[in-house]
Chain A
Amino acid sequence: MATLDAPLIVSSRAQYADSFTLARYLETGGYTALRKALTMFPEDVAHEVDIASLLGRGGAGFPAGRKWSMLRKSPVSYLVVNGDESEPATFKDHFLIERDPHQLVEGVIIAAYALQVNQAFIFLRGEFALGLERVQQALNDAYETGALGSRILDSAFSIDIVLHPGAGAYICGEETALIEALEGKRGFPRIKPPFFPAVTGLYGEPTVVNNVETMSNLPWIINNGGAAFAALGAGRSTGTRLFALSGRVNNPGVYEVEMVKNTFRDLIYDPRFGGGVIDDNAIKAIIPGGVSAPWFGPELLDTPLGQDEVGALGSMLGSGSIVVMDETSCVVRATWRITKFFSRESCGQCTPCREGSGWLERVLYRLEHGGGRVEDLDLLLDLCDNIAPGLGWPPQQTTICVLGSSIPSSIHAAISMFRDDFIDHVQRGGCPHD
């Protein structure tokens, strides 16, 4: 049974139909954290986030406090919020953006104060038409109430937040590509080093890029203290986290649970969450953290939902999205579709990713649709090895960004776990599920 002792830190307002309005936000403690933060020294606000050991919720899981402290020596110029959520089957930021835009805005103002940044940008995925409307309305409301703009809430601090729409490119979730898009260019990830925009970011100046969910945690952390947040979860995975559950489950949705204290099985089977697999089918495999993550078989369902716990088993919690495949799902088709996605979204800068993803997609297509050969399995693994040499975890990188090295994850996992399914496709000359 799942543990539900933890408070809801970021999704507490979702129960209200008008959760996105200023009136509801103020009624439920909105902007008290900002008022409190403004009475503290900026570095003490940053220190609370350090104590909370809040791991970035975007996918890489880098400690937010450490990201900030890299900038302690030089003043930060810009804060950029990454709301370009496009990792397939990830929809938790979408939930926060539409359901609680004020919480996001308050979090951004708190972060800006801690970093002493006067200009922030919220980059939202262009496809979030309603999300863009709600966040802009929240920003308008915040200006109106004096929480944004010049000398906010009678303090000496001034801050402006600009909402920036993306235009449909998965790669813009990569922080340096996002910065390029914010500069009005094609979303090409930048060559590393420097590894962090903290050194050279927007307009070549020091920039902090944080995820929407990371920002949304800040009001609670300031109100309740970093220690209260760190008391939840275990090990390096503190606090709660939003998990987006989809695929072959009865109740797909976004659920906030305490980290580490619950397992994949809890989330999938507990009636308050996933409510079990459709038709009580057996689980074939799950994707534990976005399509860039290697898959888990049903024997790993009791793994706790924690960053290091999942990492130790050769995968990642990544973007917090869990996809369930059951006995009726075709793993070959799933692998082909995921690879087609990467092939479409490769920005085209690096040869291994641009060419490799296309070749992989074509070979997987013929396996799924007839015309595959037994040798194709070795061919696929060889192509994958050219993109991420050694096929280990975390993957070796031959490309500017991690999109390339993410491509082999599902292919390598699917062939290792379900070789017989691929052979079956070859022998039948097509998909048995058609």
Chain B
Amino acid sequence: MNGCRTWIKVVLLMLIGSIPLYAQINTADALNDSVMSGIGMDSVFAEVDSIAFADTLPLTAVDNIVAHDSPNDAGGVVELYWTLSRADVLGQGRVSGYQVLRSEASADEFRIIARLGPGTDRFVDTNAPAAVDYKYIIRTLTYSGDFVDSEVSPVVSSSGQWFRPQYIPIIVAIVVIAFLMFITRRLPVMDEIWIFPSIRNLAETVIKPHTEPLVYVPGTGSYSCMATIASITLMEQLIELMREHDNDMEVNVSDPMTFSAATECLENLDHSTAYFISPDKAVFSMAYTHKMLTKPVETAILMGTMDDESLLLTEAGSRAGAFQIAGTDNVSQIPFLLSTCELTLIGEVLFLAGPQLSPDGYRAATLLHDRLKRIAWILLLLGILGAKLGWDWYIRLFETGVR
């Protein structure tokens, strides 16, 4: 009966999981098209009737030149737009292209800075130093060598901006998270918060009496990875637990800054050492394997960012007969950890493990995480609805870049 329920749950989850995929594909397609045409990356090709008198059309210059500073950059970029020459729109191939000429506003020395093909109605000047005034002329050319210049554009200068308005949703998100962090720490004591079973098992393993030092690996990523910081936080909590039960720890580290942090943590635990091995993952894996196979090991804990070497590390522990607990934020390594370790902390559970084991932090961390995930759920469900109902405004709230 239980097996049946599990199968039903799995099938339902797969079907539900497919829905956002199809919604997003449709949304991404629709958005992509609208954004691409909005910023005009495609050339403009006007529909024309068959013109028999193409060669007799008077050659006219482009007009309605708009020149402005490119927004949301560090300066140095000017954008130009214009209405195409009538001969280009109607002349069926008479216009061979355009030249962009530029001069400083105080002088009249125009130089050619770009050559564009026919049908082009925009140009981005990426060599316009900030705070220098420029003016532009667009020269229309024909295959027979004739040309005509447009009127001089308005004077424009580039400048750097101090803020990207597209990033307002990110600021809102940071403010909301900070606010939630603030209020969850001040919530009154409630009923016991649920602790992940895997985290509870991890704590129970660590406090069991050990005759050999517990081996700990804070991943193979650098200290700038969040997973490494989460691993060090977890290590601190495990050290507190082990101190009460007289267990020792041996930490094997591949990153030098993580080594400094680990050394400082272990000052609190007697007969425990941190070893810096190598930032090279292959070398670290082999040194770790050698240690695991030449010394008796009861328990090995591997927590943090790991790449392909995760299987090398866990297989070494498996061959040594150690009880292995692993956790990583690297999604692609999770199957290897599941097949070689007795206990695996997947993804976010690694980040929650340290706070959940700390005496004062677990309530706040768990509640904060719960609330953040609920908000994410609501936003995702609204997104699915929005994709189906055509709420482009809602989807655009989450577009934070140049697209």
Partners in one complex: no
Report A's interface with B, CB cutoff 8 A: none
Report B's interface with A, CB cutoff 8 A: none
